[in-house]
Every structure is written in C-alpha cells, then in structure tokens.
Amino acid sequence: MNKLVSAVALGAMLGLAACHSAGPDARPPLTGARIGGPFTLTDQDGHPFSSASLKGRYPIIYFGYTFCPDVCPTDMQVLAKGLKQLEQEDPVRAAKVQPIFITVDPARDTPPVLKTFVRAFSPRLIGLTGSEAQIAAVAKDYAAPFSKQAPTKGATGYLMQHSTAAILFGPDGQPIALVPVDADAAQVAATLKQWVR
C-alpha cells in the first residue's frame, strides 16, 4: 500500500518529540501542536458519535481504511495488543484509553463494514465514518492527509494513500504523543503507561 505522510506535519510532530525528555515530569512531545478539534461522525453501529463524548478520556486517533491490504490491519493489531498488555499490567489506566479508527474511504466503509473490521481487532475499538466532506474536514484538523489512487490496469478496486500516525490525545482534547503502532505492542503499552495518568 502506498502511504502519504505530510512531511511538514509529521516532521513538526517528530521534531517536537525530539525536544522533550522521557522523564516522568517531561512535557508531552506534542504539546502545542495544532492537531485535533471537535467532530461528529457515524460509528460502526450507525449512531452519531461526537468527539465531546471523549472528554475525560485518552483517545488514540488513527486514520485508515478497511480495504487497506497491509498497513492498517497490521497497525490495528499492534495497537490492540499494546492496549491488551496495558490492561493486564494496569487495568485502571488502560480503561481511560479509547482507540478510534476513522476511515478515509467512506464510500466503501459503511457502518457494517467498519463493524466487522474493528471487531476483528478489539471490542474497544470504535470505527467512524461519515460523508466525504465530513471525513475531509476531520482529517484536515487532525493532520491526516489522504488521497484516492486511480485503479491500476486490471485491478478490481482502488487504494487510498494516507498518513499512518496514531496520535494519543489527552482528556482535554490536546495532542500528547505519537503511539508507535509501527513498532510493537510493548512499545505501545510503554507509551501509554508514560502519558496516561
């Protein structure tokens, strides 16, 4: 799968991360980053879902699509395993975390399709979809660029290029840190342990 990562946005996030130590009193790496904002989308059960319902929790926001042939399923598997590890080590802290998968392919990712996808990874994972305009607006606010690719000759479908950053937000809606879903479950759990209070 081709990935599209905004060099400016991701570079800024990683640059912020490099400026902070990892001590217990360290400032979160994404402090001050202009990422996030309110939204209302549709969940995997077809119900309206407002970001306001996340107040007081630590959401992990990831943009992808269910027809993704490799990266999205792998990232969701690592995220789910990392969260499960945290549940075993510190269930109180883990209960504050809410993983969210927002599709960048609303034409195909209807609520029933999303429901099958998210349930394959974790009963706690929430899948969100919406109109193309809604998804574009939320993706812009969350620094998650994406684009639809023209089908290759002989292909039966199309691919989406998209960013693959999983971002942890605080209970006040402010960005905290990147969650290393491209690494392994232990690093995911360690990151959550460090920043979820």
For the chain, which residues make up each domain, given as ranges?
7-19+47-195
Give yes or no for a contact between 178 and 169, defined as CB atoms under 8 angstroms apart: no
Helix (H, G, I), strand (E, B) or coil at 103: strand
In this prediction, residue 157 carries a pLDDT of 86
Q: Which residue has the tokens 């929790």?
A: 57
pLDDT tens digits for range 6-28: 433 444 444 334 334 455 568 99
**Pair type for strands 166-169 and 175-179:** antiparallel
pLDDT > 90 in the chain, percent: 83
In this prediction, residue 13 carries a pLDDT of 46
In this prediction, residue 4 carries a pLDDT of 42
Structure tokens at 9: 């946005």
Is it the case that residue 185 has pLDDT exceeding 50?
A: yes
CATH 3.40.30.10 for the 7-19+47-195 domain, yes or no = yes
DSSP characters over 33-91: -------EEEETTS-EEEGGGGTTSEEEEEEE-TT-SSHHHHHHHHHHHHHHHHHHH-H
Query: Considering the chain, what is the average pLDDT of its residues?
Result: 89
Residue 36, by phi and psi: left (phi above 0), alpha (psi -120 to 50) or beta? left
pLDDT tens digits for range 121-171: 999 999 999 999 999 999 999 999 999 998 877 777 899 999 999 999 999
In this prediction, residue 170 carries a pLDDT of 97
Supply the pTM of this predicted model.
0.88
